[in-house]
Chain A
Amino acid sequence: MNSAETSSSRAAYDALEPGPLRDELYPEEAAARRAEQEQQAQEHTARLAQETSEPLVFTGQGAEYFRIWIVNLALTVATLGIYSAWAKVRKTQYFWQNTQFHGHRFNYHGSPLAILRGRIIAVVLLLAYSWSFDISTTAAVIAVSVLCLVAPWLFLRAQEFKLRNTSYRGLRFGFDARAPRTYPLLFVLALLWFSATLAGLLLAQTSWVVALSLAPLLLFPWMHHSVKRLQHSRSSYGTLQTSFTNCRGAFYSTYALTAVAFVFAIAASITVAVLLALPVSAAAQAIGMEMDTQTAVITGSAFGGALAYIMVFPLAAARIQRSVWTNTTLGPLWFHTDIGAGPYFKLVLKCALWTLLTLGLYWPFASVRLARYRVECLHVKAHLHTFPDLFSSVQSSQRTVRGDAAIDLFGVDVGL
C-alpha cells in the first residue's frame, strides 16, 4: 500500500457519514482514527493539568502614600485622635485598591464608625485592665482571667471584621468565626500568653515565675502555628474555602534557627562592642565626656542587641511566610511565595535605616516598599483548566447579607 492509496482511502473514510457502517468498510482507517482521537484527548488532559501561575501586583507609590499619611496624621491630631478610625479606613483602602490580581483590584469596606466604637471599647478595656493591677492582686487576677475569656472572642471578631470588609471582583472574603470548635484552643493560647503575668500575680517565688515564663517560650512555635492554621483554614472568598496543611515542623525549625541566629548576632555585637569599647571611651574622654570602658561595653551591647533583633526578625518572618502560604489552598487555587530571607532582610534593614535617618518621615515610603515586596512575592497557582470558568463558578456566600449589620455594629480591628 503506498501513501497515495492510504490517503485516498482515508479521504473516502472521512467523507462518509460517521457510524458503524463506515468503520466496517474501512477498519484500518477507523483504528487509526480512534488512536488519533485518544492521543488528542491525552494531550488535552495533559495540557489542562499543567500548572499556571499568576502574580499579585502592587501599584502603590511612596510619594502618594506620604501625602495620605500626612493628611491622616494632621486630621488625627486636630481631632484629638477621633479621626484615626477614618485614617485607618483610608489607609487600608489605599493599600487594597492598589493590589491587583488577574486584572482587577481589591477593595476595603470597613466602616469608620464601627472601628471608632471598637477602639473606644478596646481603650476602656485596656484602662480597666491596667487599673486592676493598682487595686489589688485579686482584682488583677480577675482582670487577667476575664481577658483570657474575652480575647478568643475578640480575635475571632477581628478576623471576621477584616475579611468580611475586604472584597475582590464584587465578592466579599469571609471568616468562619463560629466559636464552639475554636474557642477552647484560643482560650488555651490566651492562658499561655498570660501565664507569666498570672504566675507573677499568684506565686511569690521568682524561680517559679521564671519557669512559667519559659514554658510559653518553648511552646511559642506551636502557638504561632495554631493561630496561622486558624486564620488560613477558616477563611473564604465567596463559596471558595481555604484549607491549611499543618506544618508544625517548619515552624519549630524556623524558630530554632532564629534562636541560634539571634544568639550569634548577640555574641557578634557584644564582641564588636568590647573591641570598640577601649577606643570609644578614650575618644569620649578626649572630648570631655566621662565614660569608662564598662559603660561603653554596656551601651554598645544594648545597641548591638537591638541591631541583632532587626537582623534576625526578617529571617524568621520570611521563612514563616513561606511555610504558611505553600501550605494554604483556596478552593482549586494554591499559592507560592518568592519571599526570601536575604532580600527581605536587606529591604527591612534599608527601610529601618532610612526611617531612623529621616526621623520617621521615610516611614510611608518604607510601608509601600514593604507592602510591594510582600504582595508581589505571592503567586496564585492553578491548573490551566481552572481559570476560564473560575470566576463565574465562585458565588457569594449565603451568610453575607445577614451578617454585615452585626459585624459593623462593633468593628474590632486590633492588630492581632
Chain B
Amino acid sequence: MSSAAESIAPMGVAATYFDGRTAAGTAVQLVPAGQRIEVRAGAEGAVIAEIDLARDQLFERFGFAPRQIVLVSGASVELPITVAGEAVLASAGAQPAPVARWQQRWPLVLAMLAGLLVAGVLGYLHALPRVVHWLAFQVPQPYVERLDRQVMAALERERLQPSRLSAERQAQIAERFAAAAARHAPDVRYSMVFRSMSGAAGINAFALPGGTIVVLDGLVELLGDNAVGNDRMLAVLGHELGHVAGRHSLRRLMQTTAVALGATVLWGDAAGLAANIPVLLSGLSFSRDMEREADDFSVGFLRSNGLSEAPLVGLFKEFERLNRGKEPPGFLSTHPSPKERQRRIEARSAE
C-alpha cells in the first residue's frame, strides 16, 4: 500500500505468536503479503499462519501497549509498537477506528469536554426539570394514591399519633380550605388528615406524592384559633396544595434518581461516597426550588380567595422567630430560610 511498508516488507517485524492451545510463545516475523500478513517462524522462515484483517481481529491501539491480534483459528499475535510494525499493519489495510483516532487528539477531547460541560449544565438546568415535570404528570393517580397509603402506614407506625384536636376544629379548618381550594384550583385532587407528632418537628404540615396533606397539631396550636391564625393556616395549606398541584414529591424523587444515575456513569466504578455528594447537593437545591414554587402557588391561592400575601409573610415571620439561629447554611437545607422566603414574596408582590 504505502511506499514505507513496501520498503520494509522483505524483512518483516518481530512479534510473538501464541497458538491458543498452550501458553508457550513463538518468536515470529510478520511479513506483509499483499492484503495479508504472513506469520513466519524459525530460521527458514516457514509460514505458520496468515493474518487477514478482513477476518481476524486487530485490537485498538492504546498508547505504547503492544498491538494484539486474535486470529479466527484462536491463535493470537502480540506485536510491539514500532514504526515498522504499524507500517506492516497499514499495508494489510489496518485503519484505526474513528473513536481510536479521536482518543489521540487533545483539541478534540477538550472540545468534547467543553461540550459535555455545556450539555451537562443546560441539561441539568433546563432539560431535566422539564422531562421530570412531564414524566411526573404521566404517573397515574391511583398509583400515587397507593404510594400515599403506604407512606402514611409507615409514618403512623413510626412517628405519627392521632390528632388531639376537636372534631369541630378539624372540620372548621378542612371546610374553609375545601372552599378556598375549589375556588383556586378545582382540578387538584387532595385529601387532608390531622395527626400529631412529638417534638419540634410536630409544628409542621406536609404533602405526600398522591395529594395527602398532613397537618400536625403543633402547627394548628401555634397559629391559634383567631382571624390572623386562620388566614395563616390557609396560607400554609395553599403552600401544601402547591406541592400537590406540582407533584413535587414525585419530581424530587425522579430528579434525584436521574442525578444519581449520571453520577454513577461519571465516577461510578469505585468512588461510591464521592459520587453521592452531587446527588445530595442537587436534591437539596431542587427541594428549595420546589418550596419557592409552592410559596408562589400559595400567594395565588390567597389572592383567589380575596386575601393578600400578608398571611404567608406573617407565617415566615412566625417561623423565623421560632427557629432563630437553628438554620443550617442555605446550600445544606431542604427549605430556603424563612427570611429569604419572606423577602422574596414581598419583592414579587411589589412588582
Residues of A within 8 A of B (CB): 59-61, 64, 66-68, 70-71, 73-77, 81, 84, 90, 93-94, 97-98, 104-105, 107, 109, 134-135, 167-171, 204, 206, 237-238, 284, 289-292, 294-295, 298-299, 306, 309-310, 352, 355-356, 360, 363, 367, 370, 390-396, 401, 415
Contact = CB atoms under 8 A, between A and B. Distances in A.
Contacts of A356: 274, 277
Given A74-B112, A170-B76, A294-B326, A94 B62 contact: yes
A352 B274 contact: yes
Given A238-B22, A393-B22, A394-B23, 12 more contacts: A67-B105, A70-B112, A73-B116, A93-B62, A97-B62, A134-B150, A167-B76, A169-B25, A291-B325, A306-B273, A392-B23, A395-B22
Interface stretch (B215-223, B262-270, B284-292, B305-313): B262-270
| Residue of A67, A75, A363 contacting most chain B CB atoms (<10 Å) | A67
Contacts of B269: 367, 415
Interface string B241-283: 0000000000000000000000001110111011001000000
Contacts of A170: 18-20, 23, 25, 74-76
A318 to B, nearest CB: 15
B199 to A, nearest CB: 14
Which 5 pairs, one residue from A and one from B, show the smallest C-beta to C-beta distance?
Answer: A170-B18, A392-B24, A391-B23, A292-B325, A74-B112
B293 interface: no
B102 interface: yes
A84 B76 CA distance: 27
B157 interface: yes
B274 A391 contact: no
Contact of B65 (A71, A105, A355, A393): A105
A390 B25 CA distance: 11
Contacts of B146: 134-135
B14 to A, nearest CB: 13
21 contacts: A59-B65, A64-B62, A64-B63, A71-B102, A71-B112, A73-B266, A74-B115, A81-B265, A97-B65, A97-B66, A167-B76, A169-B23, A237-B23, A290-B324, A294-B326, A310-B273, A367-B270, A392-B23, A395-B22, A401-B74, A415-B269
A355 B62 contact: no
A136 B23 CA distance: 55
A107 B64 contact: no
A98 B64 CA distance: 9
A290 B267 CA distance: 34
A291 B327 contact: yes
Contacts of B16: 104
B63 A171 contact: no
Nearest to A74: B112
A134 B139 CA distance: 13
Contact of A70 (B109, B143, B157, B326): B109
A243 to B, nearest CB: 19
B23 A363 contact: no
Contact of B103 (A68, A104, A134): A68
Contact of B22 (A66, A93, A394): A394
Nearest to B20: A170
A67 B109 contact: yes
B171 interface: no
Contacts of A74: 112, 115-116
Interface in B126-179: 143, 146-147, 150, 157-158
B73 to A, nearest CB: 11
Given A94-B62, A367-B269, A171 B109 contact: no
Nearest to B16: A104
A72 B78 CA distance: 25
Given A70-B116, A74-B115, A94-B62, A290 B22 contact: no
Nearest to B67: A97
B334 interface: no
B328 A291 contact: yes
Given A289-B329, A291-B328, A310-B273, A391 B103 contact: no
A171 B18 contact: yes
